[in-house]
Amino acid sequence: MSGIYIHIPYCKQACHYCDFHFSTSLQNKQQMVDALSQELKLRKDYLADPLIQTLYFGGGTPSILSTSELAQLIETSREEFVLSENLELTLEANPDDLNLTKLHELKSLGINRLSIGIQSFDDALLKYFNRSHDRRTAIQAVRDAREAGIDNISIDLIFGVPNQSLEMLADDLRQALSLETPHISIYGLTIEEKTVFGKWHKQNKLTPIDEDLASEHLSLIMTTLETAGYVQYEISNFCKPDYQSRHNSSYWAGTHYLGIGPAAHSYNGSSRQYNISHNNKYIQAIHAHQLNHEIEVLTQDEKITEMILTQIRTIAGIDMMELKSQLGYDMIHEKKKELSQLTQSGLLSIQNDRLILSKKGKLLGDYITELLIP
């Protein structure tokens, strides 16, 4: 089982919090699409198992591509790989790129899951973020997607924003629930150095939210969404039964994947590969039939740390038998004292050789992870 991720490195404008790789100049867009197609061809043998279960367009803003550009990439994937009959084909989209006509076209391409970047329904917050849409556009995008026949919809929200009160967050959650999307991803804001927020922080124009209040935010999110029937299958991801993102779940399960495009990562079980984070250099290299990337071979300790970091965030928790049999790490023995303290404090439980965070533990996920890694 394998997955493909295709990074579309363009955005209409830069959101003030975002440090993903993207450019706001669309000049080379068609050349980039040609290069992405070419990389799919060059790396068709990267995955040991060519059967692709999930294909994910992320970014950047994949919805900035025209229907024909997306069709080109899907067609190339179909020619070079074996796409499962049950393929999950996700497109990340911004609300202002979506309308009924475009959504019908996306559906006809086989896109069967949309991940819509809404971030908030509060117009003042959206301006503060420098988002390219407003509340009304966001709501309309979700309604149009459904009308076009795409039901598997996820929306992204952000919490822990400076000046975001619990009441404002509750309003965002109320609005999200009224749209009845089967999946909601909600991320705590982090202030990244090379962003506008990072600059404001350095100039003392922005004060990050207090940690206790951020915990209260997360607690409110968990209670509200759980009461509404969502399952928190990963710390930042909530879904109605059977609507988890298969693509993201496969990352957490250690499935191999091929990452195409500038700044994309790939994983084949023993090493990670990082493509260059520069649009023009990426295009030039691919045109010369070269791959401009770095390869990192993971040490045993790095593999163990990675498995703990990803699995601890999920509803299934850390599979301690898998850790022991595959990576030789006997956590029960190595972390006996820490596990005893954490279980006694009610931060986690051990069920059928799996270590699972409690609700209280999810609020302290980073601290607990630090205690458990080798």
Under 8 Å between Cβ of 360 and 347: yes
The yes or no reply on residue 371 touching ligand SF4 (CB under 6 A) is no
Q: Is the Cβ of residue 61 or residue 305 nearer to ligand SF4 in the bound state?
A: 61
**Residue 22 touches ligand SF4, criterion: CB under 6 A:** yes
Is 344 exposed, middle or buried, given 0-12, 13-18 or 19+ CB atoms closer than 10 A? exposed
Report if residue 261 touches ligand SF4, rule: CB under 6 A: no
Binders of ligand SF4 in range 100-139 (CB under 6 A): 117
At 57, list the tokens.
Answer: 């367009």
- From candidates 8, 11, 206, 222, binder to ligand SF4 by CB under 6 A: 11
DSSP one-letter code for 63: G
Mapping DSSP to helix (H, G, I), strand (E, B) and coil, where does residue 14 land?
Answer: coil
Given candidates 63, 94, 237, 305, which one binds ligand SF4 under the rule CB under 6 A? 94
Please give the Cα distance from 333 to 374 (Å, whole number): 12
Q: Closest approach of Cβ 117 to ligand SF4, in Å?
A: 5
Q: Which is nearer to ligand SF4, 196 or 291 (CB)?
A: 196
Hey, what amino acid is at 363? L
In angstroms, the CA 267 to CA 67 distance is 29
Q: Which is nearer to ligand SF4, 176 or 304 (CB)?
A: 176
* Closest to ligand SF4 by CB, 18 or 276: 18
Q: Which helix (H) or strand (E) holds 117?
A: strand 113-119
Check residue 3 for interaction with ligand SF4 (CB under 6 A).
Answer: no
Per-residue mark of binding to ligand SF4, 41-80 (x: CB under 6 A): ------------------xxx-------------------
- Report how many residues bind ligand SF4 under the rule CB under 6 A: 11
Q: Which residue among 20, 187, 200, 274 contacts ligand SF4 (CB under 6 A)?
A: 20
Residue 291 sits at φ, ψ, to 5 deg, of -115, 120
Cβ proximity to ligand SF4, 193 vs 301, nearer residue: 193
Tell me whether strands 231-234 and 51-59 are parallel, antiparallel or unpaired. Answer: unpaired
Pair 142, 116: CB distance under 8 Å: yes
- Considering the rule CB under 6 A, would residue 15 count as an interface residue with ligand SF4? yes
109 HSE (CA, 13 A, CB side)? 28
What's at 128, amino acid-wise? Y
- CB closer to ligand SF4 out of 13 and 108: 13
**In the complex with ligand SF4, which residue's Cβ is closer, 10 or 233?**
10
Can you name the residues that pair with 265 across neighbouring β-strands? 274
Residues contributing to the site for ligand SF4 (CB under 6 A): 11, 14-15, 18, 20, 22, 59-61, 94, 117
